[in-house]
Amino acid sequence: MRGCESLNPYQQYKENAILTASPEELVLMLYNGIIRFIDEAKTALQKKDYVETNAKIQRAQDIITELMLTLDMNYDISKNLYNLYDYMLRRLIDANVKKDIEILDEVRGFAVDLRDTWSLALQKVREKVYATKG
């Protein structure tokens, strides 16, 4: 990691946000990253920039792989998420090989649903914690 003095203010803010985020907030950031990289891949694909398309799809794949590796397989939900992540990975590979925006949209839809569900669950937990404190 670089020293903060070499970062511009936006990079420093981003790095601080990641370093101070709770594990739950990090998951939300990862889902947002998948969505962002898929959007960037779609833009690159529309421009027929296949090198950039590949790079962005691979970034989304890396995030999904990281999510898979952090699952606690002692819970049934983790097994279900693992299967969904595995499907998303395979579809991203298909999208990359076929240069198919519709497949990217499909995977993006899963990522948006996961992000929105996670965000709602996080909000409910926070409300419950604040209700018990106040």
For the chain, the DSSP string reads: ---GGGS-HHHHHHHHHHHH--HHHHHHHHHHHHHHHHHHHHHHHHTT-HHHHHHHHHHHHHHHHHHHHT--TTSHHHHHHHHHHHHHHHHHHHHHHHT-HHHHHHHHHHHHHHHHHHHHHHHHHHHHHHHHH-
User: Among 37, 85, 43, 28, which residue's Cα sits nearest to residue 57?
Assistant: 37
Pairwise CA distance, residues 90 & 77, whole Å: 20
Q: How far is CA 88 from the centre of its chain?
A: 11
Query: Would residue 1 count as lying in a domain?
Result: no
What pLDDT is stored for residue 1 in this prediction? 46
Tokens of 19: 């370093």
What pLDDT is stored for residue 93 in this prediction? 98
Structural domain for 123, as ranges: 22-133
What pLDDT is stored for residue 17 in this prediction? 62
Pairwise CA distance, residues 64 & 31, whole Å: 8
Query: Would residue 82 count as lying in a domain?
Result: yes
Which residue type does 39 have? Answer: D
Q: What is the pLDDT along the chain (134 residues), one digit of tens a residue?
A: 445 556 787 676 556 666 667 888 999 999 999 999 999 999 999 999 999 999 999 999 999 999 999 999 999 999 999 999 999 999 999 999 999 999 999 999 999 999 999 999 988 888 877 777 76
Query: Would residue 117 count as lying in a domain?
Result: yes
Count: domains in the chain: 1
Check which CATH number belongs to the domain holding 117 and give it: 1.20.120.340
**Predicted structure pTM score:** 0.84
Query: Would residue 12 count as lying in a domain?
Result: no
Query: Would residue 58 count as lying in a domain?
Result: yes
Pairwise CA distance, residues 109 & 115, whole Å: 10
